[in-house]
């Protein structure tokens, strides 16, 4: 029999309803607890009487203050909670409770593509990068022809991905914020799944010249791989030029073979999107368990989404491996507070109507569920917006929470992506495999041909967090070795959207 509700922490005075059809007034559980209202699945029920002004507690933390008296057994809705103030960034405990390293995990491998720089690809992809949006339709046209006419002759090459985006010109390229999209595009262009080297298509007159895009790694910029459309004699010649260089590159890529490498060569970016109140008790803790396994295997695993970390920062800074890493975490929170304030907003702008329909009352509850993805190990480093993750172990890589912007920024560092969802999103990326984990079994059943792993079985008691964590870890190794995710099966890849906090001219 499935439980009536899931309570996360012994201090909690609210829990979430498990049954897909919700709970009706008068329903009792084995202990005689009685529901007073009609409460939808994943929404909160009061486990005790909560007086007006008293804390509403979930995950052992205050998620809001009751703005009316709440009777035991009644539905605790979004509008019943006042948003508490965000944790103050001053006087935060730094590195005060650093977890002991977990025992190392040996013997797990995947079959990947070794690169000259020591990185390992999970896919063997021909990359065509672009310096400006103006060339994107021409590149897309050439890409369609390459896929149809050339790619079938090169069976060891998995795909072709055009790195097209909305950046590159009409921007204040020397403004401080410009460094973020430029470095994001640089790292995507030299991605492990492109064997570290793309073709480059430039217009000619744009602000983001190829020499600027690759400024810090100019030796990467092989002029033979750069096509400037303004140097070509018309559209047909432009397409031919791209196809000619692409064919040479395909010959090289086709010689590559998968080889067994330790799981330590994985670099996994974690993200959630379309979260619901189950996310924090099913998929995110299971991903957190898998994150611990990755850390134990010597891999790199990182979590992001500043606004979904901000309200739980007091739980993270004690886990920073050194006070300096703790201060870097705080600096990222401060930077984003200022960024939002500059736009006349704050972190309360984060939750979506879907999050609220899924039972998440506010950003505090969302953040407490979101950080479960980060598992239990020490935070070894912090990468700022646009920086590449270079440390092994658990890292915080600052990004916005927006799925496609976060994913674009995480691409700088990851060769595998894990995405958890409660309401459901078909979001994916073309350059790395995206493993989708659902918070509820109902979603996994409804979207049977999009969800790769169902963590909803944790809520119904059919599986434990550890079971699903191990299942996900093993699935990641299979996917890294070439097994296709559902999103890859359908060829889904969202547009790349580099985060540009700088001005447009």
Which stretches of the chain bind Ca ion, using CB under 5 A? 273, 401, 403
Pick the closer one to Ca ion by CB: 258 or 440: 440
- Among 310, 307, 304, smallest CA distance to 417 is for 304
DSSP-derived 3-state class of residue 177: helix
Helices vs. strands in the chain: H and E counts, helices first? 13, 21
Q: How far is the CB of 184 from Ca ion (least distance, A)?
A: 16
Q: How far is the CB of 311 from Ca ion (least distance, A)?
A: 15
Pick the closer one to Ca ion by CB: 198 or 400: 400
d(CA 70, CA 56): 10
Pick the closer one to Ca ion by CB: 273 or 422: 273
Pick the closer one to Ca ion by CB: 168 or 369: 369
Pick the closer one to Ca ion by CB: 423 or 488: 423
Q: How far is the CB of 304 from Ca ion (least distance, A)?
A: 8
Q: How far is the CB of 276 from Ca ion (least distance, A)?
A: 13
Q: How far is the CB of 406 from Ca ion (least distance, A)?
A: 5
Pick the closer one to Ca ion by CB: 80 or 403: 403
Pick the closer one to Ca ion by CB: 402 or 481: 402
Q: How far is the CB of 402 from Ca ion (least distance, A)?
A: 6
Distances from the Cα of 255 to the Cα of 144, 192, 250, angstroms: 23, 16, 9
Pick the closer one to Ca ion by CB: 50 or 497: 497
Place of tokens 């927006």: 402
- Contact criterion met (CB below 8 Å) for 124 and 151: no
Strands of 300-303's sheet in order across:
379-383, 393-397, 300-303, 267-272, 416-421, 434-438, 453-454
- Contact criterion met (CB below 8 Å) for 93 and 317: yes
- Contact criterion met (CB below 8 Å) for 359 and 43: yes
Which residues, 6+ apart, have CB-to-CB distance to 225 below 8 Å?
197, 198, 199, 200, 245, 249
- Among 148, 117, 136, smallest CA distance to 246 is for 148
Q: What is the DSSP letter of 312?
A: G
Which residues, 6+ apart, have CB-to-CB distance to 342 below 8 Å?
none
Q: How far is the CB of 28 from Ca ion (least distance, A)?
A: 38
Pick the closer one to Ca ion by CB: 312 or 401: 401
Q: β-strand 393-397 against 379-383: which pairing, if any? A: parallel
Q: How far is the CB of 432 from Ca ion (least distance, A)?
A: 16
- Among 319, 340, 343, smallest CA distance to 329 is for 319
Which residues, 6+ apart, have CB-to-CB distance to 445 below 8 Å?
none
d(CA 182, CA 214): 9
Q: How far is the CB of 63 from Ca ion (least distance, A)?
A: 19
d(CA 315, CA 324): 16
Pick the closer one to Ca ion by CB: 61 or 399: 399
d(CA 50, CA 58): 13
d(CA 322, CA 316): 12
d(CA 485, CA 435): 6
Q: How far is the CB of 309 from Ca ion (least distance, A)?
A: 11
């Amino acid at each position: 029999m499935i439980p009536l509700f899931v309570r996360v922490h012994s201090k909690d005075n609210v829990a979430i309803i498990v049954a897909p059809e919700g709970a009706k007034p008068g329903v009792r559980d084995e202990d005689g607890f009685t529901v007073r209202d009609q409460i939808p699945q994943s929404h909160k029920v009061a486990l005790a009487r909560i007086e007006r002004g008293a804390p509403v507690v979930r995950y052992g933390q205050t998620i809001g203050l009751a703005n009316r008296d709440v009777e035991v057994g009644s539905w605790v809705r979004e509008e019943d909670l006042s948003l508490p103030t965000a944790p103050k960034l001053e006087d935060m405990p730094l590195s005060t409770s650093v977890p002991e390293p977990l025992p190392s995990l040996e013997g797990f491998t995947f079959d990947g593509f070794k690169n000259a720089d020591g990185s390992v690809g999970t896919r063997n992809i021909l990359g065509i990068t672009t310096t400006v949006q103006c060339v994107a339709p021409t590149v897309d046209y050439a890409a369609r022809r390459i896929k149809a006419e050339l790619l079938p002759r090169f069976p060891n090459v998995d795909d072709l991905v055009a790195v097209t985006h909305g950046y590159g010109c009409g921007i204040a390229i020397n403004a401080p914020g410009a460094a973020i999209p430029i470095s994001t595009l640089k790292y995507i262009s030299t991605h492990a799944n492109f064997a570290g080297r793309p073709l480059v298509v430039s217009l000619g007159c744009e602000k983001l010249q190829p020499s600027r895009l690759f400024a810090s790694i100019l030796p990467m910029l092989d002029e033979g791989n750069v096509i400037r459309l303004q140097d070509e004699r018309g559209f047909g010649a432009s397409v031919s030029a791209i196809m000619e260089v692409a064919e040479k590159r395909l010959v090289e890529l086709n010689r590559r073979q998968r080889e067994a490498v330790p799981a330590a060569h994985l670099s996994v970016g974690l993200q959630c999107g379309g979260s619901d109140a189950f996310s924090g008790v099913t998929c995110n803790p299971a991903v957190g368990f898998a994150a611990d396994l990755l850390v134990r295997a010597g891999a790199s695993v990182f979590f992001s989404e500043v606004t979904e970390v901000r309200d739980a920062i007091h739980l993270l800074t004690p886990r920073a491996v050194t006070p300096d890493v703790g201060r870097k975490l705080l600096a990222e929170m401060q930077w984003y507070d200022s960024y939002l304030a500059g736009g006349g907003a704050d972190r309360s702008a984060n939750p979506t109507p879907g999050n609220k329909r899924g039972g998440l009352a506010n950003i505090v509850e969302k953040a407490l569920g979101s950080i479960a993805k980060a598992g239990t190990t020490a935070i070894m480093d912090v990468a700022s917006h646009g920086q590449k993750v270079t440390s092994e172990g658990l890292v915080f890589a600052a990004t916005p929470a927006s799925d496609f912007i976060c994913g674009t920024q995480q691409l700088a560092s990851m060769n595998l992506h894990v995405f958890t969802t409660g309401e459901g999103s078909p979001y994916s990326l073309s350059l790395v495999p995206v493993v989708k984990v659902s918070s509820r079994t109902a979603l996994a059943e409804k979207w049977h041909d999009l969800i790769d792993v169902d963590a909803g079985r944790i809520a119904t008691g059919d599986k434990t967090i550890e079971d699903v964590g191990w299942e996900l870890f093993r699935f990641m190794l299979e996917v890294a070795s070439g097994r296709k995710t559902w999103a890859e099966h359908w060829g889904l890849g969202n547009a790349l959207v580099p985060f540009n906090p700088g001005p447009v001219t």
